[in-house]
């Protein structure tokens, strides 16, 4: 069973996601980076499930949940970004400090 | 309400039987109420009346005069009048009852009549005298109150009602003496009168309390009966009670040293002085002594020397003061004080009839003299004899009546004063007070002397005042003549050994009482004593005339016969006023101030001190413990929290990526910890 | 009429309170409506009080009538027990009357800051407290009513009072007179009340010692008087004494009185003098003496001494005053001294003297404070050195002032005399067991006090009424007694004369009750 390759792929994907999350200015790109991180997690879950062979297939179930949630999250996230863009004519996260104290 | 059945009959004298007097007695209370009612009516409606209320006052007095004359006539008959009626006004527990009512017996009938007769004359006179003066309405109201209170006093069957009348008289005198209260000296004189009387009233009130509690009753008849039976309960306190009542009488009847108010009371309009000196005020004390006579006669005999001493000092010492007074009303005032001394001495020595007889005659000639003086003052607009003189030509009626009054007062045969003074001298001799008797004779000399001086300075010589004096109008001179008649004749009703047909004698009138009492009445004139008295009077008149009459050379000098020591002593009225003022000053200034100081700085000092201490303590507690201690901790906590928050909140920049970075950093940290530390 | 009999007292007590609540609903701006409403309420209360007096069985004045006894706070055995006897009836009627007169007087006389609605509401609450105190027969109820009067009076003084600044020794800053007076009044009284409550509680707990249920009921406590004895009783009496003595006020607990009176608005002074001062002396007669008769005898000489000191001290202090109102206030100390002297004798005459003295003082001093207020209203000063010739400027008011001063100095034939005279009468022969010579000395000193009383009253009259008006007032027009004043004062004047001439008006009710009280309290000793 080749587990390590999947894990390395997932780690790479996650690191790309983190990089994108921290570095990109465009909010849409930040959102996409988050999706990347979630995909990495999904890969881990599915790979580990296949490796451990649990009878209840918990990994797959969890992965399906995460995909669903990710879809919802992206939907809401894009809606928020769209609204912000409409109001501020920009989707640059550096300019967004609405959530400040 | 009930008619008392507890009546004794006089055993002595001619009146062997007594009648109740029918409706005249049963409704005699109207005499007490009448003037009081007049007072209220005049106060409320007087201003709207034609004569400003004078008609009401005079009407009430006239009514009283008629009524009391009927009673007097009834009492003169073969049987005297004896009646008493009381209305309970409160039962106060302890078996004590307060009552109001009236008593009709020889003594009170005599007083009713004197008050009404003199009162009527004075009221009518005052109607003329007060024309054009200020506050006439109120003046007549107060006069009515004055007379009404006196009637309540003399009509009282018990000691409590007596106190009511007693102080009512004091109030009315206060109102009348201070009638012209715009001037401070007048209102001060009024205060002095009220106040001196109030001091004396303490004695009266305590005396009444002692008698009331001891006997369980305030009735005069109970007092008299207890005295007659030599009551064991009353015995131990009799002297104290007697002296206290006497102290009360000293105030009203101006006995030394409580006489000081009377000369100052001349500040009131002259009719007031006449009423006060003749009928309604100063006689109250003598009346009280007469009413409670059995107490002194039977039980409180130990009190009598003191009373006689006070009376004797008054009759002689106060007469001397009249020698140096310039104010004609003051001369008469001191003469009244002196005559009151005679009466008091007589009553105290056991001369019940003698004292009252002098009261009776004195009322007429003294009222006459005062009204005459008022007439003179009315004409010359001054009270001082140094502004008068030669008035006999200008004011013939006043002159004649005044001389009659002066001679009666001096005790010249056969005017009324002679008989009553002789009766007093005889009683003093009979009772064995020989020294006092001779002092009284000397007093008669002094009396005659100052009356001669007054007449000479006022009516003879040259006129020294301003303007042209005129005789007073008839409304004022008629009362003078009306009073001159009894001043001359009143003496004949009590000539020793002489009993007039159907009039009887004064002694008999008075013997109708609720209890019998021993009282000496001479059966014949003691010619020697009468001659001595008359000689003293004539000598006094002659010397006075020599010294002050128009023929006296260099009268101005004689007017100022200044005997060293004695003259200043008399001018300063024995310095008694100074002593009294000193006492008042001590009360007013140091004592009152000390108390006020104690109040503001000691008691209130403690209160404020406790308050201030509490405040300081609270301040300490608040500032030290509460604000800095407990609150310090609380504040410290909150300060720390907010400070920390201030620091930490900087992390929350609102930048999503910063958050994410921290998140990642945290994750890494966690990973490091998990991997390498655990 | 049965319904009336059982409800009359409750109505008299609570009608003013209800009236006050209703008045709250009337808009503040509609002053006339508020005035008319409070007048209506107070008049109805007075009518009820008069009806009660008329239906009162004078033959059985010694017992309680119109009684209501309902369970109230059953956990502590406190009942809603009210009733009146001959002792409280005159005071109840007086209280109802004075409130009506105060409402009438204030129709046109308002102290700053006006606000008639608030003032009248306070007055109505005060009326409830005063009436309630006179009818309460349960210690808890009594205490509540006794304290209830504090609050409205505190606000009356504190809000409508005298605003001049005053330096109080011991305090750094100057304070407004009204604030100082209001706080002093409140704290002083509360201080006494605390002890009083302590005494009440001690009685309550001790009353249960005989195996019976503890009770606050006054008649019941009187019946169980034998339970209270020795040091316990002495201390309890002392505690209650403190509470009552502050309220009377007796020397040396009196110093709140001149300040409160001087600072209070006119109507406040009147109510304070006429009714509030009576609560303390009434409590002595209603509670302290019947429940603890033997202890009262131990305390009587002390009370007499303080009373006599109060008489002399109050009179002397009056002579040093320059402010008319303060003089009148101090005169209360002296007059209440006579009341307490009467009580201290523990005799029928003495306690009767106290009651008629209380009624007379209420009438006379109430009127005097009305007059002082009206004088202040006209001249805007109460300094006697600036006044003078009042009789010339305002003859009617001057005449009434003279009349009232005469009544106050105890002129026989007016109401004030009987209280003084009977107090002295009682002290000549106090209750058997009390030192006769001691009380006779007190009597003599008290009698001398009457002389001093006459002194300051005459002096005040001379200063205010007599003489020529000073230049300060020359050419000024003064409104003599106005309609409202006349209506408010006339009943007082009439009553002063009526009670003076015919004291049976008061004594006719009280004597039986007092005799009953003294007999049942001191029966064991015999008299």
Residues B497 and B576 in one domain: no
Among chain B residues, the shortest Cα distance to A25 is held by B657
Name the 3-class secondary structure at B2.
Answer: strand
Contacting residues for B525 by C-beta, under 8 A, at least 6 apart: B422, B495, B496, B497
**Distance between CA atoms of residues C494 and B81, nearest Å:** 37
Virtual CA dihedral for C504, C505, C511, C517, nearest 10 degrees?
-170
* B218 belongs to a structural domain: no
pLDDT band at A69 (very low <50, low <70, confident <90, very high): very high
Torsion over CA: B421, B426, B431, B432 (sign): positive
Looking at residue C93, its pLDDT comes to 94
Among chain C residues, the shortest Cα distance to B585 is held by C319
Q: Which residue has the higher pLDDT, C422 or B6?
A: C422
Whether the pLDDT of residue B520 is over 70: the answer is: no
* A91 belongs to a structural domain: yes
Distance from CA of A27 to the nearest CA of B (A): 10
Among chain C residues, the shortest Cα distance to B188 is held by C462
* A20 belongs to a structural domain: yes
Among chain A residues, the shortest Cα distance to B646 is held by A101
* B18 belongs to a structural domain: yes
* B221 belongs to a structural domain: no
Among chain A residues, the shortest Cα distance to B659 is held by A22
Among chain B residues, the shortest Cα distance to C411 is held by B167
Instruction: Give me the residues of chain C with pLDDT under 70, please.
Output: 1, 170, 524-527
- Reported as a single tens digit per residue, the pLDDT across C241-261 is 999 999 988 888 888 888 899
Residues B63 and B8 in one domain: yes
Within 8 A of C347 by CB-CB distance, chain B residues are: 93-94
Distance from CA of B421 to the nearest CA of C (A): 35
**CB contact, 8 Å: B648 with chain A?**
no
Torsion over CA: C442, C445, C449, C451 (sign): positive
Residue of C9, C48, C288, C4 whose CA lies nearest to C135: C9
* C527 belongs to a structural domain: no
Q: Which residue has the higher pLDDT, B523 or A92?
A: A92
* C477 belongs to a structural domain: yes
Whether the pLDDT of residue B12 is over 60: the answer is: no
Best residue of C246, C257, C311, C320 to probe chain B, by most B CBs closer than 10 Å: C320
Across the interface, of B181, B202, B608, the residue whose CB is closest to C467 is B181
Residue of A96, B539, B190 whose CA lies nearest to C406: B190
- The answer to whether B170 and B194 are in contact (CB under 8 A) is yes
Q: Which residues numbered 386-445 in B keep a CB inside 8 Å of some CB on C?
A: none
**CB contact, 8 Å: B132 with chain C?**
no
Name the 3-class secondary structure at C255.
Answer: coil
Residues B419 and B270 in one domain: no
Within 8 A of A93 by CB-CB distance, chain B residues are: 655-657
Residues B121 and B143 in one domain: yes
Across the interface, of C168, C252, C511, the residue whose CB is closest to B608 is C168
Residues B88 and B198 in one domain: yes
Within 8 A of B88 by CB-CB distance, chain C residues are: 504
**Helices A27-52 and A58-88, packing angle to 10 deg:** 180
Q: Which residues of C309-331 are buried (b: 16+ CB within 10 A; e: fewer)?
A: bbbbbbbbbbbbbebbbbbbbbb
Distance from CA of A23 to the nearest CA of B (A): 8
Residues B50 and B154 in one domain: yes
* B640 belongs to a structural domain: no
**B81 alpha carbon, distance to own chain's centre:** 29
**Residue C213, token pair as written in the block:** 């249920």
Within 8 A of A30 by CB-CB distance, chain B residues are: 656-657
Distance from CA of B634 to the nearest CA of A (A): 25
**CB contact, 8 Å: B593 with chain C?**
yes
C168 φψ region: left (φ > 0), alpha (ψ -120 to 50), beta (else) = beta
Residues B473 and B582 in one domain: no
Structural domain range at position C335: 2-522
- Asked if B202 lies within 8 A of C321 by C-beta distance, the reply is no
**CB contact, 8 Å: B5 with chain A?**
no
Among chain B residues, the shortest Cα distance to A37 is held by B664
Last residue of a domain, one of B613, B628, B643: B628
**Distance between CA atoms of residues C307 and C423, nearest Å:** 11
Judge residue C78's burial from the number of C-beta atoms within 10 Å of its C-beta, 0-12 exposed, 13-18 middle, 19 or more buried: buried
Tell me the β-bridge partners of B19. Answer: B81
**Distance between CA atoms of residues C391 and C468, nearest Å:** 9
* A64 belongs to a structural domain: yes
* A67 belongs to a structural domain: yes
Structural domain range at position A44: 4-95
Within 8 A of B661 by CB-CB distance, chain A residues are: 22
Structural domain range at position B316: 304-512+521-555
**Distance between CA atoms of residues B250 and B259, nearest Å:** 8
Distance from CA of A20 to the nearest CA of B (A): 10
* C307 belongs to a structural domain: yes
Distance from CA of B656 to the nearest CA of A (A): 7
- β-strands B80-81, B18-19 pairing: parallel
Structural domains in chain C (count): 1
Q: What are phi and psi of B90, to 5 degrees?
A: -175, 140
Q: Which residues of C81-98 are buried (b: 16+ CB within 10 A; e: fewer)?
A: bbbbbbbbbbbbbbbbbb
* B239 belongs to a structural domain: no
* A100 belongs to a structural domain: no
pLDDT band at B16 (very low <50, low <70, confident <90, very high): very low
- Reported as a single tens digit per residue, the pLDDT across B371-427 is 888 888 888 888 887 777 778 888 888 888 888 888 888 888 888 888 888 888 888
Its ipTM equals: 0.91
Q: Which residues numbered 31-90 in A keep a CB inside 8 Å of some CB on B?
A: none
Distance from CA of A46 to the nearest CA of B (A): 22
- Asked if B611 lies within 8 A of C169 by C-beta distance, the reply is no
- The answer to whether C328 and C266 are in contact (CB under 8 A) is no
Whether the pLDDT of residue B564 is over 90: the answer is: no
Among chain B residues, the shortest Cα distance to A21 is held by B657
Q: Which residues of B604-620 are buried (b: 16+ CB within 10 A; e: fewer)?
A: bbebbeebbeeeeeeee
**Residue C429, token pair as written in the block:** 């022969």
Cis peptide before B200 (omega within 30 of 0): no
Contacting residues for B289 by C-beta, under 8 A, at least 6 apart: B245, B246, B249, B296, B307, B344, B347, B348, B355
**Residue B163, token pair as written in the block:** 């106190």
Across the interface, of B652, B655, B664, the residue whose CB is closest to A93 is B655
Across the interface, of B93, B166, B592, the residue whose CB is closest to C349 is B93
Contacting residues for B177 by C-beta, under 8 A, at least 6 apart: B186, B189, B190, B193, B264, B265, B267, B268, B272
- Asked if B664 lies within 8 A of A22 by C-beta distance, the reply is yes
Looking at residue C379, its pLDDT comes to 87
Radius of gyration of chain C (CA): 22
% of chain B residues with pLDDT over 90? 6
**CB contact, 8 Å: B146 with chain C?**
no
Tell me the β-bridge partners of B87. Answer: B100
Whether the pLDDT of residue B557 is over 60: the answer is: no
* B248 belongs to a structural domain: no
Whether the pLDDT of residue A13 is over 90: the answer is: yes
Residues B612 and B463 in one domain: no
* A44 belongs to a structural domain: yes
Among chain B residues, the shortest Cα distance to A22 is held by B657
The answer to whether C and A touch (≥3 CB pairs < 8 Å) is no
- Asked if C316 lies within 8 A of B592 by C-beta distance, the reply is yes
The per-residue DSSP string of C80-118 comes to EEEEE-TTHHHHHHHHHHHHHHHHHHHTT---TT--HHH
Distance from CA of A13 to the nearest CA of B (A): 15
**A58 alpha carbon, distance to own chain's centre:** 20
- The answer to whether C182 and C258 are in contact (CB under 8 A) is no
* C464 belongs to a structural domain: yes
The answer to whether A and B touch (≥3 CB pairs < 8 Å) is yes
**Distance between CA atoms of residues B650 and A59, nearest Å:** 40
pTM of this prediction?
A: 0.83
Show which subunits contact C, needing at least 3 CB pairs below 8 angstroms: B
Which runs of consecutive H residues, i.e. helices, occur in C138-229? 139-148, 150-160, 177-207, 218-223
- Reported as a single tens digit per residue, the pLDDT across B319-357 is 888 877 778 888 888 888 888 998 999 888 888 888 888
Angle of CA points C453, C456, C459, to nearest 5°: 145
**Distance between CA atoms of residues B606 and B597, nearest Å:** 13
* B215 belongs to a structural domain: no
Across the interface, of C187, C256, C424, the residue whose CB is closest to B205 is C424
The per-residue DSSP string of B377-408 comes to HHHHS-SBGGG---HHHH-HHHHHHHHHHHHH
**CB contact, 8 Å: B664 with chain A?**
yes
**Distance between CA atoms of residues C368 and C332, nearest Å:** 11
Within 8 A of B604 by CB-CB distance, chain C residues are: 255
Whether the pLDDT of residue B553 is over 70: the answer is: no
Structural domains in chain A (count): 1
- Asked if B664 lies within 8 A of A18 by C-beta distance, the reply is yes
Within 8 A of A98 by CB-CB distance, chain B residues are: 654
**CB contact, 8 Å: B646 with chain A?**
no
**Distance between CA atoms of residues C152 and C121, nearest Å:** 9
Whether the pLDDT of residue B460 is over 70: the answer is: yes
Tell me the β-bridge partners of B217. Answer: none
Within 8 A of B657 by CB-CB distance, chain A residues are: 21-23, 30, 93-94
* C316 belongs to a structural domain: yes
Torsion over CA: B206, B209, B215, B221 (sign): positive
CB pairs under 8 A between A and B: 32
Residues B586 and B494 in one domain: no
* B359 belongs to a structural domain: yes
Contacting residues for B325 by C-beta, under 8 A, at least 6 apart: B263, B331, B334
Structural domains in chain B (count): 3
């Amino acid at each position: 069973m080749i587990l390590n390759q999947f894990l390395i792929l997932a780690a790479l994907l996650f690191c790309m996601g983190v990089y994108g999350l921290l570095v990109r200015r465009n909010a849409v790109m930040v959102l996409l980076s988050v999706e990347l991180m979630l995909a990495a997690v999904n890969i881990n879950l599915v790979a580990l499930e296949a490796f451990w062979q649990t009878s209840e297939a918990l990994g797959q179930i969890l992965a399906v949940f995460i995909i669903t949630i990710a879809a919802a999250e992206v939907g809401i996230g894009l809606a928020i970004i769209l609204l912000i863009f409409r109001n501020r004519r920009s989707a640059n996260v550096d300019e967004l400090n609405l959530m400040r104290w | 309400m009930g008619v008392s059945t507890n009546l004794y009959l006089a055993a002595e004298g001619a009146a062997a039987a007594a009648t109740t007097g029918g409706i005249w007695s049963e409704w005699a209370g109207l005499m007490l109420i009448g003037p009081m009612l007049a007072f209220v009516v005049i106060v409320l409606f007087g201003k709207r009346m034609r004569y400003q209320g004078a008609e009401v006052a005079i009407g009430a007095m006239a009514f009283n005069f008629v009524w009391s004359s009927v009673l007097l006539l009834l009492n003169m008959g073969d049987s005297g009048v004896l009646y008493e009626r009381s209305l309970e006004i409160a039962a106060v527990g302890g078996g004590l009852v307060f009552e109001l009512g009236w008593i009709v017996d020889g003594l009170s009938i005599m007083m009713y009549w004197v008050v009404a007769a003199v009162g009527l004359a004075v009221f009518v006179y005052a109607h003329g005298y007060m024309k054009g003066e200020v506050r006439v309405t109120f003046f007549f109201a107060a006069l009515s109150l004055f007379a009404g209170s006196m009637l309540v006093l003399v009509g009282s069957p018990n000691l409590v009602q007596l106190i009511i009348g007693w102080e009512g008289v004091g109030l009315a005198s206060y109102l009348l003496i201070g009638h012209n209260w715009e001037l401070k000296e007048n209102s001060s004189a009024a205060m002095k009168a009220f106040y001196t009387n109030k001091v004396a009233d303490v004695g009266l009130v305590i005396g009444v309390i002692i008698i009331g509690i001891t006997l369980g009753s305030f009735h005069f008849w109970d007092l008299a009966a207890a005295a007659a039976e030599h009551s064991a309960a009353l015995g131990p306190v009799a002297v104290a009670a007697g002296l206290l009542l006497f102290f009360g009488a000293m105030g009203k009847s101006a006995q030394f040293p409580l006489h000081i108010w009377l000369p100052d009371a001349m500040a009131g309009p002259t009719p007031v002085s006449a009423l006060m000196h003749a009928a309604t005020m100063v006689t109250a004390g003598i009346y009280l002594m007469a009413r409670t006579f059995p107490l002194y006669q039977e039980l409180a005999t130990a009190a009598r020397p003191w009373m006689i001493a006070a009376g004797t000092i008054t009759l002689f010492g106060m007469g001397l003061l009249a020698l140096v007074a310039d104010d004609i009303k003051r001369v008469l005032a001191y003469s009244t004080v002196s005559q009151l001394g005679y009466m008091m001495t007589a009553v105290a020595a056991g001369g019940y009839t003698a004292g009252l007889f002098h009261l009776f005659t004195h009322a007429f000639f003294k009222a006459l003299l005062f009204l005459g003086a008022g007439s003179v003052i009315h004409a010359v607009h001054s009270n001082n004899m140094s502004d008068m003189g030669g008035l006999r030509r200008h004011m013939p009626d006043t002159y004649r009546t005044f001389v009659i009054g002066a001679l009666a007062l001096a005790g010249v045969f056969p005017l009324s004063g002679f008989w009553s003074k002789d009766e007093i001298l005889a009683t003093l001799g009979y009772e064995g007070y020989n020294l006092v008797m001779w002092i009284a004779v000397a007093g008669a000399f002094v009396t005659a002397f100052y009356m001669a001086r007054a007449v000479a300075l006022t009516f003879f010589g040259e006129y020294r005042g301003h303007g042209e004096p005129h005789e007073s109008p008839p409304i004022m001179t008629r009362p003078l003549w009306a009073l001159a008649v009894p001043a001359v004749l009143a003496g004949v009703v009590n000539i020793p050994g002489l009993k007039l047909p159907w009039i009887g004698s004064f002694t008999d009138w008075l013997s109708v009482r609720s209890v019998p009492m021993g009282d000496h009445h001479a059966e014949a004139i003691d010619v020697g004593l009468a001659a001595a008295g008359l000689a003293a009077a004539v000598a006094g008149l002659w010397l006075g005339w020599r010294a002050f009459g128009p023929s006296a050379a260099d009268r101005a000098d004689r007017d100022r016969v200044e005997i060293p020591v004695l003259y200043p002593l008399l001018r300063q009225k024995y310095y008694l006023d100074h002593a009294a003022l000193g006492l008042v000053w001590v009360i007013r200034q140091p004592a009152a101030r000390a108390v006020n100081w104690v109040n503001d700085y000691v008691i209130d000092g403690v209160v404020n001190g406790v308050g201030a201490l509490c405040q300081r303590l609270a301040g300490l507690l608040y500032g030290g413990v509460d604000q800095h201690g407990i609150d310090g901790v609380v504040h410290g906590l909150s300060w720390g929290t907010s400070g920390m928050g201030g620091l930490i909140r900087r992390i929350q920049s609102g930048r999503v990526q910063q958050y994410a970075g921290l998140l990642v950093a945290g994750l890494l940290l966690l990973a490091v910890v998990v991997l390498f530390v655990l | 009429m049965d319904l009336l009999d059982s409800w009359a007292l409750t109505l008299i007590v609570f009608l003013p309170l209800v009236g006050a609540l209703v008045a709250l609903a009337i808009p503040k701006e509609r002053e006339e409506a508020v005035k008319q409403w409070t007048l209506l309420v107070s008049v109805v209360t007075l009518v009820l009080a008069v009806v009660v007096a008329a239906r009162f069985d004078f033959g059985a004045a010694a017992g309680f009538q119109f009684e209501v006894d309902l369970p109230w706070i059953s956990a502590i055995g406190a009942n809603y027990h009210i009733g009146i006897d001959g002792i409280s009836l005159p005071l109840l009627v007086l209280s109802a009357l004075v409130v009506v007169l105060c409402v009438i007087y204030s129709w046109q006389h308002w102290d700053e800051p006006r606000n008639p609605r608030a003032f009248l509401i306070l007055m109505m609450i005060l009326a409830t407290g005063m009436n309630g105190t006179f009818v309460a027969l349960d210690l808890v109820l009594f205490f509540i009513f006794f304290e209830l009067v504090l609050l409205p009076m505190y606000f009356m003084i504190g809000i409508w009072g005298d605003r001049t600044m005053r330096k109080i020794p011991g305090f750094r800053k100057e304070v407004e007179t009204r604030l100082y007076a209001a706080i002093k009044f409140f704290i002083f009284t509360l201080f006494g009340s605390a002890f009083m409550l302590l005494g009440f509680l001690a009685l309550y707990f001790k009353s249960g010692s005989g195996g019976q249920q503890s009770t606050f009921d006054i008649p019941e406590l009187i019946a169980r008087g034998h339970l209270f004895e020795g040091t316990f009783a002495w201390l309890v009496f002392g505690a209650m004494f403190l509470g009552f003595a502050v309220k009377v006020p007796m020397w040396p607990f009196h110093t709140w009185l001149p300040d409160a009176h001087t600072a209070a608005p006119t109507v406040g002074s009147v109510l304070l003098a006429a009714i509030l001062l009576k609560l303390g002396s009434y409590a002595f007669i209603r509670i302290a003496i019947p429940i603890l008769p033997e202890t009262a005898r131990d305390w009587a000489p002390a009370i007499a001494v303080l009373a006599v000191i109060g008489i002399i001290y109050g009179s002397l202090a009056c002579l040093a005053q320059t402010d008319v109102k303060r003089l009148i206030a101090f005169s209360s100390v002296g007059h209440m001294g006579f009341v307490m002297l009467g009580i201290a004798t523990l005799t029928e005459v003495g306690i009767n003297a106290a009651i008629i003295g209380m009624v007379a003082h209420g009438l006379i001093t109430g009127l005097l404070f009305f007059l002082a207020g009206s004088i202040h209203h006209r001249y805007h000063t109460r300094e006697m050195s600036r006044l003078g010739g009042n009789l010339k400027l305002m003859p009617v008011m001057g005449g009434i002032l003279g009349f009232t001063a005469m009544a106050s100095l105890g002129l026989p034939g007016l109401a004030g005399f009987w209280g003084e005279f009977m107090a002295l009468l009682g002290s000549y022969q106090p209750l058997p067991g009390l030192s006769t010579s001691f009380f006779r000395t007190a009597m003599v000193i008290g009698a001398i006090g009457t002389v001093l009383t006459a002194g300051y009253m005459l002096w005040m009259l001379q200063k205010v009424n007599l003489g020529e008006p000073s230049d300060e007032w020359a050419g000024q027009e003064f409104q003599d007694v106005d309609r409202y004043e006349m209506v408010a004062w006339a009943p007082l004047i009439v009553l002063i004369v009526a009670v003076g001439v015919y004291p049976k008006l008061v004594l006719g009710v009280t004597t039986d009750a007092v005799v009953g009280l003294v007999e049942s309290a001191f029966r064991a000793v015999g008299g």
